[in-house]
Chains A and B, each alone.
Chain A
Amino acid sequence: MHWINAVAIFIMIGSGWKIYNDDALFSFLRFPDAIVIGKWAQYGLQWHFFGMWIFVLNGIAYLSYGIVTGRFQQKLFPISVREVFVTVGEALRFRLRHDDLTHYNAVQKALYLGVMLVGILIVISGLTLWKPVQFSELASLFGSFQNIRLVHFFCMAAIVGFIVVHVTLAMLVPQSLVAMVSGGPVIKYEAPSSGSVAPEMKTPH
């Protein structure tokens, strides 16, 4: 699901930049033709309204899976604010350790959760941009039509920012890339001991 999402995000951002260029929100910002998807406006639009299906369907599958199986509950919570600061401090002093790939540190938890929320907001704002009349109740929450465009734009900017950090850090911790291809390190089974917070697992027999 991660890699399907990566492809969808690539299509959505590249074609979104093409669509943006037709009526720039900021006079100082236009995306160079070399990095947008689609030579003409209609191609950008076609890719965007194709990619949205992949992004949304894959996103729904991913979120439901994470919630239903308790994966998010286990991996992303609890998030401690103090721990976030400690981790950032460690990272800035290049002392961040990432030995146990199955465990997210506080910054990872905060960023992953944050980018999921941004992902949800970008879909909602996108839906209201596409259908400001059919979903006029939802659209009115944003104020004007141009406000929806701004929200959609800043969600994109946040995701781009996330990708830069995410890809850089993944490159710095090469074993995580290996894990993404191989399926992760071998995790030894442990009988759920008393006091364990991890959900119980049925072990195969």
Chain B
Amino acid sequence: MAIRTRTPSLFRPRTPIDQGVLTENRKLVDDINRRGLLRGAVSLGALTMLTGCDVSEIDSVQKGLRAVSAWNDGVQQTIFRANHLAPTFNPAQVKKPPRFNAYYPIEDVKPVDGASWSLELAGRIDDKRPWTAQRLYALPEQEIIIRHVCVEGWDYIGQWSGPNLRDFLQRVGADLSAKYVYFICADDYTESIDMPTALHPQTILATKYAGEVIGDPFGYPLRLRTSTKLGYKNAKWIKAIEVSNEFRETYWSERGFNWYAGI
């Protein structure tokens, strides 16, 4: 076999390493029982997995993973294109009824009484007078036919309509330079989005699905629908909206899911 010139590598020393150690220990190296090594590696792997505890739950590990998740929030904010529209679809592709998602099964949904319901406003908003469903439903509507992407991996096309969130925030005199918009829900769910997402042209306070008032399991009387976030960010059964500069954990972020959750 011909001797080749070595690969030009930045990391290899310019002079060959003394191979004496290898030659002297050749016998030892040869003695390494490959089967034993393999068996050892396999049982070590099995041991780490069968002990029943998850390394992710160790405090310092979980802290580290959440720090990376918070770093990813920042990266996603940088990637976000404020006026880039998500693909839209035609009415024939719409799934009826929409697919249910919540932190409990559909049987446990507690319907909200639209007649006694009102939307409370809080935080950095000038006009904090509550909104009845009647007044809210009378606002100009915007319709979007967009893809719902769940963190689990499934997706469907949905047809949503209701007041545009940017228009609504302007109407009530919200501070649009604030950082976050919070949604407090009737089922004690909490969710928040960053202001650029709240101001995105495809972010609406949805009141209708496929042209009809939203059904109870899907957030009646009011829910959020934005084209640039994963499903769980789209709060349902909203009972209050708060504009704030202060960051607070939300239902899923508290449990370790990514807060920004942009798509």
Contacts and interface: CB of A to CB of B under 8 A. Distances in A.
| A and B are partners in one complex rather than unrelated chains | yes
Interface of A: 19-20, 22-23, 25, 34-35, 37-43, 45-47, 49-50, 53, 65, 69-71, 74-75, 99-100, 102-103, 130-134, 136, 140, 145-146, 149, 171, 174, 178, 182-183, 186-190, 192, 196, 198-199, 201, 204
Contacts of B36: none
Majority SS at the chain B contact face = loop
A12 to B, nearest CB: 14
Contact of B151 (A45, A136, A188): A45
A70 B7 CA distance: 8
A14 to B, nearest CB: 9
B5 interface: yes
A71 B9 contact: yes
Contacts of A198: 4-5
Interface of B: 1, 3-10, 12, 14-17, 19, 22, 29, 32, 34, 38, 49-50, 54, 56-57, 64-66, 68-69, 72, 76, 79-81, 84, 86-87, 147, 149-155, 227-228, 252, 255-258, 262-263
Contacts of B228: 133-134
Contacts of A99: 1
B221 to A, nearest CB: 27
Contacts of A37: 56
Contacts of B84: 133-134, 136
A100 B4 CA distance: 10
Chain B CB within 10 Å, residue with most, of A25, A103, A134 = A134
B5 A136 contact: no
Given A25-B153, A46-B65, A132-B147, 10 more contacts: A34-B50, A39-B56, A45-B258, A49-B258, A99-B1, A134-B80, A134-B84, A178-B29, A190-B4, A190-B5
A47 B56 contact: yes
